Amino acid sequence: QVQLMESGGGLVHAGGSLRLSCAASGFVFSRNAMAWYRQAPGKQRELVAFIRSSGTTNYRYSVKGRFTISRDNAKSTVYLQMNSLKPEDTAVYYCNTNEAGLDYWGKGTLVTVSS
């Protein structure tokens, strides 16, 4: 079965950096697009970054130039490098993929950015 496991969250000061990882299993990773979403307290879940199987990427406007999504198909892992973090980036970050028409989510990893 599809499994996604995020790691790398934590507490960081504004201006700092974190790298999130999502280890995937249960499907042919290299064929799937992968995404990072986030959900702040009291807000809806929102798309942060997206990477296609080809390696092309898209970003939420507010993170462009600060965040980088990448993938390692040999390790079945997708990453989110987050630089110049801001307090408004505080959220639970989730890994996502769509397999056979179904959306799959990890349990999330909490990122807290202090001012």
One DSSP character per residue, the chain reads --EEEEE--EEEETT--EEEEEEEESS-GGGS-EEEEEE-TTS--EEEEEE-TTS-EEE-GGGTTTEEEEEETTTTEEEEEE-S--GGG-EEEEEEEEETTEEEE---EEEEEE-
pLDDT digits (tens, 9 = 90+) for 22-35: 999 999 999 999 99
The two three-digit tokens of residue 55, written as one number: 């390696």
pLDDT digits (tens, 9 = 90+) for 28-65: 999 999 999 999 999 999 999 999 999 999 999 999 99
The two three-digit tokens of residue 102, written as one number: 């179904």
Mean pLDDT, residues 88-108 taken together? 97
Find all residues with CB under 8 Å of 104, minimum gap 6, and list them: 2, 4, 96, 97, 98
Using DSSP bridges, classify how beta strands 109-114 and 10-13 pair: parallel, antiparallel or unpaired. Answer: parallel
pLDDT of residue 87: 97
Confidence of residue 70 (pLDDT cuts 50, 70, 90): very high
pLDDT of residue 93: 98
